[in-house]
């Protein structure tokens, strides 16, 4: 499924990834390959789908450096994941520090880097304005002071300030109401185009996947590996009218059919 292009640099490489939690008696993931080519001056939006327990979140944790596979290598920008290559991740659960304000949360990575307060506040405010949180910067980043959608905006802004080139998102809109979810989808596409980021996004929502993705990759159930790759041939810039395009509906049905086929694979 993944073929190397010698003329193209890879931004993310997971090679020969296997995961066992019982010394190799059972494998959650086996010989999994996941290679994302760098697309300068464009970025890309990659969506990972799969049944529950197939390892979607685990893959993101590998890339973020939060977990190491039992076997295999994980590379970001050609380097092993570590201090030099750190990738931020937005979770479904709200991950802000509730004793910090919005401004302090967004500037957290810069604080760890030793950036002066004046500089990190200035840079953090740029992101806060961009994600629509201006006026909330001095509120504590906690529910119910902020809504669920606002807390996810804080997490997105914090991740972008830490590393705008790669953004990992693990079902970030799963707990949001439908109106907020649709708004956040459009915010995310605007961020993608502004920063030309590589976004790797996990969701169970097929219509959301088709709306957001350049490419969709589907994991089969354990022992997991990727078995389907679907390039979403829709306009690069999308809006609400895209969902009324018959071609969009065709892709939703195609992905649904592939998910059913994959669910039956052993």
State pLDDT tens for residues 202-226: 999 999 999 999 999 999 999 999 9
- Listed in order, the ranges of the chain carrying CATH 3.40.50.300 are 1-87+167-266
- Mean pLDDT of all residues belonging to the chain: 90
Half-sphere exposure of 96 (CA within 13 A, CB side): 29
Residue 9 sits at φ, ψ, to 5 deg, of -80, 140
What pLDDT score does 94 carry? 74
What pLDDT score does 6 carry? 55
> Which of 6-15, 23-32, 247-256 shows the lowest per-residue confidence on average (mean pLDDT)?
6-15
Q: Is the pLDDT assigned to residue 5 strictly greater than 60?
A: no
- CA-CA distance, 143 to 167, in Å (whole number)? 24
Q: Is the pLDDT assigned to residue 1 strictly greater than 60?
A: no
- Write the CATH number of the domain with boundaries 1-87+167-266: 3.40.50.300
Higher-pLDDT residue of 207, 88: 207
Q: Is the pLDDT assigned to residue 3 strictly greater than 60?
A: no
The burial of 113, by beta-carbon neighbours within 10 Å (0-12 exposed, 13-18 middle, 19 or more buried), is given as: exposed
pTM of the model: 0.91
């Amino acid at each position: 499924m993944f073929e190397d292009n010698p003329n193209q640099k890879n931004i993310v490489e997971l090679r020969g990834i296997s995961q066992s939690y019982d010394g190799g008696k059972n494998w959650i993931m086996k010989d999994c390959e996941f290679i994302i080519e760098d697309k300068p001056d464009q970025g890309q939006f990659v969506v990972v789908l799969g049944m529950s327990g197939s390892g979607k979140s685990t893959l993101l944790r590998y890339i973020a450096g939060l977990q190491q596979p039992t076997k295999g290598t994980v590379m970001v920008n050609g380097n092993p994941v570590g201090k030099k290559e750190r990738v931020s991740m937005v979770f479904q659960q709200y991950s802000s520090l509730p004793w910090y304000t919005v401004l302090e949360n967004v500037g957290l990575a810069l604080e760890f880097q030793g950036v002066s307060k004046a500089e990190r506040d200035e840079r953090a405010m740029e992101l806060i304005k961009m994600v629509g949180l201006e006026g909330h910067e001095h509120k504590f980043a906690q529910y119910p002071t902020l809504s669920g959608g606002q807390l996810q905006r804080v997490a997105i802004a914090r991740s972008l300030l830490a590393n705008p080139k790669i953004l990992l998102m693990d079902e970030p809109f799963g707990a949001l109401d439908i109106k907020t979810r649709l708004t956040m989808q459009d915010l995310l596409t605007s961020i993608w185009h502004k920063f030309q980021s590589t976004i790797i996004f996990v969701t169970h929502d097929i219509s959301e996947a088709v709306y957001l993705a350049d490419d969709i990759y589907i994991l089969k159930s354990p022992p997991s590996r990727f078995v389907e790759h679907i390039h979403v041939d829709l306009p690069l810039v999308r809006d609400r009218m895209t969902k009324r395009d018959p071609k969009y509906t065709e892709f939703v049905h195609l992905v649904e059919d592939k998910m059913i086929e994959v669910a039956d694979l052993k």
